[in-house]
Amino acid sequence: MNQPQVAESPFPDLSRAPFAVLSGAAPETVANEIVACLQTVEQLERPTCRVFEAVAANVGMSPRDPLAVAGMRIAVDLDDGVTGQARNAYHNSRHICEVLLCSLFLAKHAGLAGAQQARIAVAALVHDLHHDGTTNAGQPFRLERLAIDAARPCLAAAGVAQAEITRIAALVLATEVTIGGPYARCCFRHFHQGGPASEAPPGADPLGLLATDPNLAFQAVLLAEADLLPSVALTFDHAMQCQERLSREDRRIAATPVQKLAFLDRHRQEGLLVARFFEPNLEGLQCLIRASLGK
């Protein structure tokens, strides 16, 4: 007897996070929905293409929009292994899909316009493009510039305006954790919390755009926090899986609760700005790990 076929779970479920923001939904609920979405993504064929296609439609990008054309070309390269990232345990297409989906939710939660959501989506797709599985090793922005240089011809060939390519590059540079991220946060605080202005770090063009554009500064912090969100503020299991994958990619990072707690403590001290909705999850992860360590 033929066995009945089981229908594949639909992707995406547009009624749930990260594709929808429901009023009154608790951070824990939203985190569980995002993690469930990420788990579905892992089972997809050509996941980067499927995720980008869904996100592009969700934010209102026409398939003929230059950003959509360029984004799909980059997604195809990621799924085809052209970028050489399949060997990476962490900085691979799975991580890029994580950041793409987390940035979608944060952009929707912040009420950003569709064009801004589209820019962030493409920047999320680009931010770790051609990552070589190592670190910047004392060369700030090395990996981020590698990603930008790889994406620029594709963006230009699709007809993306040079000014928009430059804005996307600024967002990608803001995901660099030692200089780019702190500078983006400084610009955010200047525009949105009355903090002091700051000069752009030397040799970091076009990061200086963030000092003159409050909307771009907001988007830069959003992308930088979306890059961290899977590791610090979704669920305990997902956070520890991220730690384990990072450890396999970089043996200097221990896949232990002690090191994870130190990582969480640092980011809790810095505080989330755009992603502050998820602060309770970050605090909850800290408590769970401390309890597991008997602290």
**pLDDT tens-digit profile of 202-211?**
889 999 999 9
**pLDDT of residue 5 exceeding 60:** no
> Strand, coil or helix: what is 185?
helix
**pLDDT of residue 164 exceeding 80:** yes
**pLDDT of residue 3 exceeding 50:** no
pLDDT category of residue 4 using cuts at 50, 70 and 90:
very low
**pLDDT of residue 137 exceeding 90:** no
Taking only the tens place, the pLDDT of each residue in 30-57 is 999 999 999 999 999 999 999 999 999 9
Domain range holding 256?
27-292
**pLDDT of residue 8 exceeding 70:** no
Nearest to 170 by CA among 120, 136, 220, 113: 220
Provide the CATH number for the domain around residue 281. 1.10.1300.10
Q: How many domains does the chain have?
A: 1
pTM score, two decimals? 0.95
Cα–Cα distance between 237 and 219 in angstroms, integer? Answer: 28
CA distances from 64 to 35, 43, 137, 164 (A): 30, 28, 39, 16
Nearest to 112 by CA among 218, 252, 185: 218
What mean pLDDT do residues 267-284 have? 94
Cα–Cα distance between 262 and 133 in angstroms, integer? Answer: 22
5 CB contacts (<8 Å, ≥6 apart)? none
pLDDT category of residue 251 using cuts at 50, 70 and 90:
confident
Q: Is residue 2 part of a domain?
A: no
Sort 14 into a burial class: Cβ within 10 Å, 0-12 / 13-18 / 19+: exposed
Q: What is the mean pLDDT of the chain?
A: 94
Q: Is residue 180 part of a domain?
A: yes
Q: Is residue 165 part of a domain?
A: yes
Q: Which residue has the higher pLDDT, 44 or 6?
A: 44
Q: Is residue 278 part of a domain?
A: yes
Q: Is residue 7 part of a domain?
A: no
**pLDDT of residue 1 exceeding 50:** no
Q: Is residue 288 part of a domain?
A: yes
> Strand, coil or helix: what is 50?
helix
Which pLDDT score, from 0 to 100, does residue 71 have?
98
pLDDT category of residue 234 using cuts at 50, 70 and 90:
very high
Q: Is residue 170 part of a domain?
A: yes
Q: Is residue 12 part of a domain?
A: no
Name the one residue in this structure whose structure tokens are 């230059």: 66
What mean pLDDT do residues 222-237 have? 96
**pLDDT of residue 70 exceeding 90:** yes
195 contacts 217 by C-beta, under 8 angstroms: no
